[in-house]
Amino acid sequence: MDYITEYQRSLADPEAFWSYWGSKLAWFSHWDRAYAPKGALADWFRGGRTNIAFNVVKSDPRLVWYSEDLKTRIELRGNDLKYAVLGAAIKLKEKGVKKGDIVAIYAPNTVQTVLYMYASAWLGAIYSVIFAGLGETAVKARLERLSPKLLVRARYTVRRGKEMPLFFHGDIELRTKGDEEEVRELIELGEKEGGSIEPEPVEANEPLKVFFTSGTTGTPKGIVLPHGAWMVGDYTVFDYLFDLRPGDTVFTSADVGWITFSRIMYGTLLHGSKFVFTEGSPEYPTYDKLREIQERENARVFFTAPTLLRLLRKNDVKLAKTEYIACAGEIFDLPSWEYAFKFADKVTDVYGQTELGYVVGTPYKLGAQPKPGYAGLPFPGVELITVDDDGKPTNSIGHLLAKRPFPTQFIGVLRDEKKFREYFERFGYHDTGDMAVIEEGYVKVVGRSDDMIKISGHRITSGEVEAVVQSVKGVSEAAAVGVPDEVKGNKLVIFYVGTASEEEIRRAIRENLGPIYVVDKVYRVERLPRSRSGKIMRSVLRKILTGEKYDETVLEDPSVARDIENVVRRGL
């Protein structure tokens, strides 16, 4: 079936469409309606009860983990995977965890981390993974918002060959011994005592997990995602993207604390395919690490981020040849796109947000083709529009809205109903907060609505400016922000990483964007501030420039912002 036919079918008869995809997975009780819209949201598979962890185990996939130095490889499949999940579930149950309880998991990319995610879901509990690279204040802020029944915590993470201790103390402690030994003990426990722990049937719209995101704009928000609905939506997207089958291998560089890891992991395992991940730095001990894993595991898909591709390209790293390279998390720049095509037959950007799920990409299964510079096409079942500031449809750059609900859409913001309602108040639909243009069906995301820069009545996005700056030889990364100006509205300020001169950057903007976009300041910095999911935090840069206080808990490494403050203060 071709893309146009499938897409039109999904919108014309959503009940039949989503019933078909729901039936691909296992349910303990059937739904009365697959799609019951209620305004900008919907009830999905209403009344149907399922369990995502049960579906993972039932699919007989393979879970493969590598230590940072590649010296340790752990693989779980079949009964070993099932018993390991049951062993972790027993540990949780012994601590009193039951359906509806919140379990916080503060741990790095390890097999044990993933097993406790599955174990929580198996019991019908709601889990939340906290990124192991956060600072103490950021971890504390998330734990306070979660107020969990129980904390599963690893004693350390490994980065560049060093064990880095994690903060606080867990109710269940991981890495008190070797990884292989801990996993083996969970398998033995599950095999011995797991027979009495049946998977908890969970209604499709009840919570599965909470993932924290600040996007790029502010205080961390606990995004609550549904159980069965999210499962079906994620399964569907990965089917359209890669047409996954048992025996296929998907390898990712993502971190377990990032929602993309969760999407890739479940999307792979629910298809009965092999999911491969690793701990630590992607370039340690050498840049050959990624290629070695690809070749060892015969990876069909490499799922990563533009940030890593830029690093690999800069260091002239040769990846293994694969069928697919997919990227998510930020705008896929053209040089990285061209680099990816050197090592893959097919390349796709994948656009989404924690609150909505993956909604745009290249559904290769349906014969779709990518368009460089564009995130891709809406997946079947997705309906997106762009509107101007007054909410009127526009064919030019506008606010990107989800006009129709999607199964992976969030069901709340943890302990913040007001923030949840804000997503729908302004335009009546789900506001992604992104600016985009839709041309012949293809979606081009140009930046966050908060990142629009208005100079003397002319609007430009941060992404447009950054693309020009990154085209300058010697620039590896860039961020453009606007700061208030009484005369012009905004002044344009550039931050960049690299060896290019300030004059080269000013000239590139003048020649490519025109004389109206006069650059006020250019700052060369060592690094750009990023969120825990790797997104550039332009809001923090703006606040540094205006002298406002920013929230360090949204940053992966607050020291980066403090270094930039010093650069700005010195006027360098």
Q: Are 237 and 260 in contact (CB under 8 A)?
A: no
Q: Is 366 left (phi over 0), alpha (psi -120 to 50) or beta?
A: alpha
Q: Are 87 and 185 in contact (CB under 8 A)?
A: yes
Q: Tokens 């000239």 belong to which residue?
A: 507
Q: Are 419 and 433 in contact (CB under 8 A)?
A: no
DSSP for 174-233 reads E-SS-HHHHHHHHHHHHHHHGGG-PPPPEETTSEEEEEEE-TTTSS-EEEEEESHHHHHH
Q: How far is CA 291 from the centre of its chain?
A: 23
Q: Which of 60, 171, 450, 520 is catalytic?
A: 450
478 three-state secondary structure: strand
Q: Which is nearest to 190 in space by CA: 55, 80, 332, 328?
A: 80
Q: Is the previous residue joined to 285 through a cis bond, with omega within 30 degrees of 0?
A: yes
In angstroms, the CA 67 to CA 88 distance is 21
In angstroms, the CA 34 to CA 422 distance is 26
Question: Taking the CB of residue 223, how many other CB atoms lie within 10 A of it?
Answer: 23
Q: Where are the alpha helices (DSSP H) in 341-478?
A: 417-425, 462-470
In angstroms, the CA 280 to CA 492 distance is 37
In angstroms, the CA 448 to CA 125 distance is 34
Q: Are 22 and 35 in contact (CB under 8 A)?
A: no
Side-chain half-sphere exposure of 465, counting CA atoms within 13 A: 30
**Is 450 marked active-site?**
yes
301 three-state secondary structure: strand
In angstroms, the CA 497 to CA 311 distance is 12
| Residues labelled as active-site residues | 450
